[in-house]
Amino acid sequence: MTISPLSLDSLDAAVDLLLTRTGNTLRMAAPLGLGKPHRLLNAITRRVTAQPELHLKLYTALSLTPPIPRSDIEKRFLGPFLARHFGEDFPALDYALAMRRDNLPANIEVEEFYFQSGGLLGASGAQRHYNSLNYTHVARAVAERGINVLVQLVAREPGGQRLSLSCNPDLTLDLLDELEAMGLPRPLIIAEVHPDLPFMDGHAALDPGFFDAVLDLPGPAPQLFALPREPVGDADFAIGLYASTLVRDGGSLQIGIGTLSDALTHALILRHTRNDTYRALIAALWPEVESSPIVCRWGGLGPFEQGLFGASEMVMDGFMHLIDAGVIKRRVVDDTALMQRIHERRASDADHARIAAEGQHLHGGFFLGSKDLYRWLRELPQRERERIGMTRISHINELYGGQETLERLQRREARFFNSCMMMNLLGAATSDALDNGQVVSGVGGQYNFVAMAHALRESRSALMLRAVRESGGKTDSNVVWNYGHTTIPRHLRDVAITEYGVADLRGRSDEDCIRAMLAISDSRYQPTLAQSAIAAGKLAANRIDGSAAKRNTPEHLANVLAPFRASGDLPDYPLGSDFTLVEQRLVKALGWLKRNTATPKMKLATIGQALFTSSPNDPEAMARMGLSAPSGMREKLLARLLRRGLSQQ
């Protein structure tokens, strides 16, 4: 007999129920990212804030918050965009905003294992309560806290009764299993239904009785949190193109999020759909690609005839485009014997028919991306949506959760692509924190996938990073001799990719690893890096290879890619944009202004150019920024600076 959950239609009723069941102490878990019920969480935190006798301890991650414009020029650009993109009534998380201001109420504590990137640097409370965990260890750690409440955003089956964990089956199911294994009571589970959240079937779909209470709020729902898509630069495109050569047709794919992943997605689609253009691009960027040992042994340059199977903790826009382009199309089923027959090329016609009928081409733990992604998932025909299996993180991020043989067969020749902030010459990577311990983001599943690449036969892990970074008018190398924090240890070094090439580090001696990393570092920093290695006794002075020095520069890279930029083969927004055309021009202009006013000296020079150099007018852009008819000296100067920035495109 199916047990019906309690039906709620108000936030106050949900909070009353919660407090009645738990008493004054709430030990609450909420999914990461999109799976958070913002309205319910805000109602809970406001009630707890108003009643000092209550205490809330929240365990979660990735508390997404829209950007907050600071300066006048940021407000002029971001104000209208944020209102349009998120909606005027978007319920930003109260506790997340308080964490950024470092003023959470005394009776509320939040423990996160992954931060919105860079959002909590310097926030003492958040930094002190951060919990550094591999994604696969989170369910166990949260269960050990003895939580008594779990809240989650869910989708309702169109025309049906079932509910779906939709965007976030990643930890919920694993958490409940951990609690049961520890002999701990099941928490109160409250679901908030969002009408725009796509209904995902399979492991994510549950009978209503799974939940203790289901909250259906009347009236229109706020927009889902959607990530604004950012422009892709030359360095990003080069990294994505290099990475695309390492993917083997018929294999498996994991990718993260961000402009490096967007560039890789675009390169894979070019490789499959416009192979002549792709080969011309690769040849211009990497003249030796056809004879490269790593490409010949591990990758390829041809279209994807068999296609790829996607197995990624995060499903983002890239996978949507890869599926639509026919790159992600290799299907798997959760049947070890059948997958073994496929692997051994002895599958029958009936086996192939079953794969065609039941197989899935993408497994994911959670999804997060643009409005286009959410719309695409909602509008997919049911059978095509069923090809995407949203499932628990223990299935996605580890091999040793009880189905190791099956997962090895499904994830043949896997390629795991993730981003990092820095790498040292010995192959260790820094992805989540600074050398003083301040956390930028989190480990997430990166360590899981790097380790999995070493555990799976014929598989590789590639860490992608830009060779340099700019901050405050200063340029620094992201390839370093040493750093005070490590996310991926050097003994798990595998492949490193910058805009200057691919370094194959697996199984290499320290000296060979150093030479490979020097070859993909920016030429401006190679001598100093080499001298550090020599001084440490890790590199012989006569083993420095200077052949890459002249071409490892931003100027050389820009010249190589310029024809392909001009032809439209490498567009600024390869996966689509949330900005209007005029906003896209403004993004470039504002970026130029930020770079050229980063120091007092640069700022003075740029102001001088704006005041004493005539720049063409862009009426549409000036109107969008409210500067068509500037008044007062401040607005007039801002208008001239903006016109100067627009003229540099």
- Is residue 421 within 8 A of residue 258, CB to CB? The reply is no
Least confident of 64-78, 95-109, 536-550: 536-550
Q: Beta 149-156 vs 163-164: how paired, if at all?
A: antiparallel
Q: Same structural domain for residues 210 and 250?
A: no
One domain for residues 166 and 100: yes
Measure the CA–CA gap between 151 and 163, rounded to whole angstroms.
14
Q: Are 185 and 326 within one domain?
A: no
pLDDT of residue 259 exceeding 80, the answer is yes
Which of 149, 181, 215 is the endpoint of a domain? 215
- Asked if residue 552 has pLDDT above 90, the reply is yes
Residue 121 pLDDT level (bands cut at 50, 70, 90): very high
pLDDT at residue 137, as a whole number: 96
The pLDDT tens digits for 331-343 are 999 999 999 999 9
* Residue 546 and residue 456 in one domain: yes
Asked whether residue 570 is domain-assigned, the answer is no
Residues 180 and 283 in one domain: no
Same domain? For 177 and 250 the reply is: no
Mean pLDDT for the stretch of residues 120-148: 96
Are 81 and 194 found together in one domain? yes
Query: In angstroms, what CA-CA distances link 117 with 70, 265, 393, 438, 451?
Result: 18, 21, 21, 12, 23
Degrees, nearest 5: CA angle 23-25-29: 110
Tell me, yes or no, whether 628 lies in a domain: yes
Asked whether the beta carbons of 501 and 520 are under 8 A apart, the reply is yes
**pTM of the complete model beyond 0.85:** yes
368 and 359 Cβ atoms separated by less than 8 Å: no
- Do 521 and 385 fall within a single domain? yes
Cα gap 369→178, rounded to integer Å: 29
Whether residues 185 and 260 share a domain: the answer is no
- Does pLDDT of 231 surpass 70? yes
- Name the domain count of the chain: 3
1 pLDDT more than 60? no
- Of all residues in the chain, what percent carry a pLDDT higher than 90? 94
155-164 residue pLDDT tens: 999 998 999 9
Average the pLDDT over 510-539 and give the result: 96
pLDDT at 548 over 70: no
Q: With left for phi above 0 and alpha for psi between -120 and 50, is residue 444 left, alpha or beta?
A: left
Within 224-372, strands assigned E span 252-255, 309-315, 362-367
Residue pair 480/439 in contact by the 8 Å Cβ criterion: no
Percent over 70 (pLDDT), the chain: 99
Classified as helix, coil or strand, 269 is: helix
Structure confidence at residue 2 as a pLDDT band (50, 70, 90): low
Report the candidate in 399, 418, 245 with the shortest Cα–Cα distance to residue 318: 418
Amino acid at the residue 529: L
> Does 571 fall in a domain?
no
Tell me what pLDDT residue 649 has: 80
- Is 424 a domain residue? yes
| pLDDT band per the 50, 70, 90 thresholds, residue 547 | low
Helix (H, G, I), strand (E, B) or coil at 47: helix
Mean pLDDT calculated for residue range 219-231: 95
Lowest mean pLDDT among 294-298, 400-404, 524-528: 400-404
Average pLDDT over residues 7-17: 97
Q: Are residues 207 and 241 in the same domain?
A: no
pLDDT(346) > 70 = yes
Residue-averaged pLDDT of the chain:
95
In a domain, 517, yes or no: yes
495's CB contacts (< 8 A; 6+ apart) are 246, 294, 460, 461, 462, 463, 502, 503, 504, 505, 506
Work out the pLDDT band at 543, boundaries 50, 70, 90: low
Q: What is the CATH number for 146?
A: 3.40.1080.10
- What are φ and ψ of residue 454, in 5° steps? -75, -25
Structure token pair of residue 565:
């930029």
CATH code for the domain of 414: 3.40.1080.20
- Structural domain containing residue 120: 6-215
Is the domain of 284 the same as that of 152? no
Q: How many residues are present in the chain?
A: 649
How would you label 189-228 residue by residue, b for 16+ Cβ within 10 Å and e otherwise?
bbbbbbeebbbbebbbbbebebbbbbbebeeebbbbbbbb
Q: What is the pLDDT of residues 171-210, one digit of tens each?
A: 999 999 999 999 999 999 999 999 999 999 999 999 999 9
Q: Same structural domain for residues 412 and 509?
A: yes
Cα separation of 396 and 554, whole Å? 37
Q: How confident is the model at residue 634 (pLDDT cuts 50, 70, 90)?
A: very high
Dist CA 244 CA 299 (whole Å): 8
Residue 227 lies in a domain: no
What is the rounded radius of gyration, in angstroms, for the C-alpha atoms of the chain? 26
In tens, the pLDDT along 441-499 reads: 999 999 999 999 999 999 999 999 999 999 888 999 999 999 999 999 999 999 999 99
CA distance 99 to 116: 12
Q: Rounded to the nearest 5°, which phi and psi values hold at 445? A: -100, 5
647: buried, middle or exposed (CB in 10 Å: 19+, 13-18, 0-12)? middle
Closest CA to 111 of 137, 93, 133, 92: 133
Domain assignment present for 559? no
Output phi, psi for 103, to 5 deg: -140, 45
Q: Are the C-beta atoms of 37 and 158 separated by less than 8 Å? A: no
pLDDT tier at 541, thresholds 50, 70, 90 = confident
- Domain annotation covers residue 75: yes
Per-state percent for the chain, helix, strand, coil, to nearest 5: 45, 15, 40
